[in-house]
Amino acid sequence: MRPPALGRALVHRDFRLLLGAFATSRAGDFLYTIALVVYVLEATGSSVWVSATVIVRVVPLVLGGSFAGLLADRVDRRRLMVLSDLLRALSMGAIALVAALDGPIVLVVVLVGVTTLAGMPYFPAFYASLPRLVPERELASANSLISTIECLSLVVGPGIGGLLVASASPAWAFTVNALTFVLSAVLVLRAKVPAAEDPEGDADTGTLAGMRLGVQTLTGDRVLGALVLSLLVLTFIYGFELVYLVLVARDLLGMGASGVGYLDAAVGVGGLLGAVVAPRLARSRRPRALIALILTLNAAPMAALAVVRSPVIALLVLAVEGVAALVLDVVVTTIMQRVVPGARLARVEGILASLSTATLLLGSLLAPVLLGLVGLRGSLVLASALPAGLALVMLARVRGLDEASAQRLDTSGPQISLLTSLDLLAGADPASVERIASAMEPVTFPAGTVMLSEGAAADHLLVLSAGSFVAYTAEHPEQQRQLTAPDYVGEIGLLQGRPRTATVRAVTEVSGFRVPGEEFLAAVGIGGGPSRALESRVAERLTGSFG
């Protein structure tokens, strides 16, 4: 029996091992987050120190995230992940020892920074390994499993962290986290992780120009700018929340400082619920109202915490925040994937990740300042006002978003149907198919026209919807292969980086679409390369000496 869609990637042993390592590590991360906040607050009684620990965990990610990704592309990924785990186990063990001995809080903050630095290359190496551990068709299953584990970790980790802090001490929670890193290292050691690809031609020159182009892409489109602003506002507010939730648990809800673990877990539960509805909402024809509603639902829970007295109600309102936050992330990311050209998408996402981390840092820095000015309840209300205000602006000003989204869905419908009827993008994620469909340009070739010329540079392919055509080589012009639409031609030169291998000529009038080469390569590259069906088709065509 074929495994369920979500579990198909689990049949691969090496992926199971890495996924187990990821799950162990992420649960430990969230456990550690709760224990650290509680420990620092109890040791110092100061929200400023809580904010300082958040800053120390975030600053390296802002400044060194790009370098960590580059490192994961240049060295053996398995060794890098194991080294990252072992270094974090050592630093976490040191934090546990300092906490148990009531050592100086400054030393804990320094060790927190060391732990963050040691862990930075781990996740780029992990994600970069996935396309070579599972077949391209099962990457969706693999990514869905990772997202599910991320949400479950946000539920389980804080809950366990809260229990350990309440029943034992933060030092025990730090010790457990150190053990999760050791277990993760053992699992990674047992896996066969492919080595990083040789970045042939990857020179330092052009890097800054590429980054500037990514920034221009983010800022040059009004609709995309509004979407990015939405995400950045929420990460900014999350920076406040990281500092305030522990105070809410202790001072407003009577749960004690360790109760913050349950509050964070409630957000995780909401994220699991949001994962159920997010894919359907991502195709909404009215994203403007949807995003405004979601922003409002993100703001309301924090404001509600200023007046809620019942822990049960607090957990419920934070679950609502979890639903809204995950849905917004999926919706905005999906729309961004539709709008941004595939050749620029990776750098745009990288820039957005750095900006998100920077805004989280800024929120954590400002949280104690606002707290000192207006107190905890006033801070909760004021911090929630920003996403609520942005929701109103979204409704009033970004009028082109609904029209652009609906037009994109309407005009790309026939192209999407044509692409999905062929094996060209078999297994590609829907966002990649939509992005290629939006880049397709209509073309028509009268009978007798040469559509592709042997030896010419390969910079595009043709996806054809109607007509008949033939393919042949200069060496054997009499051996003509008859073809009929729907079909595609021109992919061989793009996939193999070589000139056209055959001439293609229209027999009848042929109509279809021209696909830019960079868009096609970006789409098949998302899965670590072309699908097996496409590879087989290329081999077949090369055997027949055309394409």
Do 28 and 162 share a domain, yes or no? yes
Last residue within a domain, chosen from 382, 410, 438: 410
Q: Which residue shows structure tokens 């291998």?
A: 501
pLDDT digits (tens, 9 = 90+) for 186-227: 999 988 876 554 444 444 434 455 556 666 666 666 666 777
Is 144 part of a structural domain of the chain? Answer: no
pLDDT computed for residue 508 by the predictor: 92
State both tokens at 164: 């350990």
Predicted structure pTM score: 0.59
In this structure, are 183 and 222 located in the same domain?
no
Same domain, yes or no: 396 and 505: no
Mean pLDDT of 244-259: 85
SS3 string, 303-346, reads HHCCCCCCHHHHHHHHHHHHHHHHHHHHHHHHHHHHHCCHHHHH
How many domains, the chain? 3
Q: What is the pLDDT of residue 416?
A: 73
Residues 254 and 320 both lie in one domain: yes
- In CATH, what number is assigned to the domain containing residue 231? 1.20.1250.20
Rounded CA gap, 412 and 301, in Å? Answer: 38
What is the torsion angle, in degrees rounded to the nearest 10, for the CA atoms of residue 162, residue 167, residue 170 and residue 171?
-140
In a domain, 181, yes or no: yes
Nearby residues of 518 by Cβ (< 8 Å), 6 or more positions away: 341, 342, 343
Residue spans of alpha helices (H) in 457-545: 491-496, 517-526, 532-543
Query: For residue 518, is it within any domain?
Result: yes
Q: Answer yes or no: is 535 within a domain.
A: yes
Q: What is the pLDDT of residue 232?
A: 82
Are residues 369 and 226 located together in one domain of the fold?
yes
Give the burial class of 361: count Cβ atoms within 10 A of its Cβ; 0-12 exposed, 13-18 middle, 19 or more buried. Answer: buried
Burial tier of 493 (Cβ tally within 10 Å: 0-12, 13-18, 19+): buried
Within a domain: residue 2? Answer: no
233, 292 in Cβ contact below 8 A? no
Distance, in Å, from the CA atom of 204 to the CA atom of 206, rounded to the nearest integer, reads 6
Judge whether 121 and 64 are in contact, CB under 8 Å: no
Task: Write out pLDDT tens, residues 6-24.
Answer: 456 677 788 888 888 988 8
User: At residue 356, does pLDDT exceed 90?
Assistant: no
- Residues 404 and 424 occupy one common structural domain: no
For residues 385 and 472, state if they share a domain. no
Rounded to an integer, the average pLDDT of 537-542 is 46
**pLDDT higher than 60, residue 492:** yes
For residue 95, the number of C-alpha atoms closer than 13 Å in the C-beta half-sphere is 33
Q: Is residue 140 part of a domain?
A: no
Residue 145 lies in a domain: no
What percent of the chain is helix, strand and coil (3-state, nearest 5)?
75, 5, 20
Compute the half-sphere exposure of residue 502: CA atoms within 13 Å on the CB side of its CA. Answer: 26
CA 439/CA 426 separation, integer angstroms: 18
Do 258 and 402 belong to one domain?
yes
Helices (H) and strands (E) in the chain — how many of each? Answer: 19, 8
Q: Are residues 220 and 369 in the same domain?
A: yes
Which of 410, 443, 465 delimits the end of a domain?
A: 410
User: What radius of gyration do the chain's Cα atoms show?
Assistant: 26
Same domain, 473 and 435: yes
Q: Which residues on adjacent β-strands are paired with residue 483?
A: 469
Does residue 508 contact residue 111 with C-beta atoms inside 8 Å?
no
> Do the domain assignments include residue 519?
yes
Whether 515 and 500 share a structural domain: yes
C-alpha 474/C-alpha 514 separation (Å) is 24
Same domain, 377 and 524: no
For residues 155-179, average pLDDT: 82
* CATH number for 443: 2.60.120.10
- Full residue range of the structural domain in which residue 285 is found: 206-410
Q: How far apart are CA 441 and CA 515, in angstroms?
A: 7
Report whether the peptide linkage leading into residue 60 is cis, meaning its omega lies within 30 degrees of zero.
no
Q: Give the highest mean pLDDT range of 73-77, 87-91, 389-393, 422-426.
A: 87-91
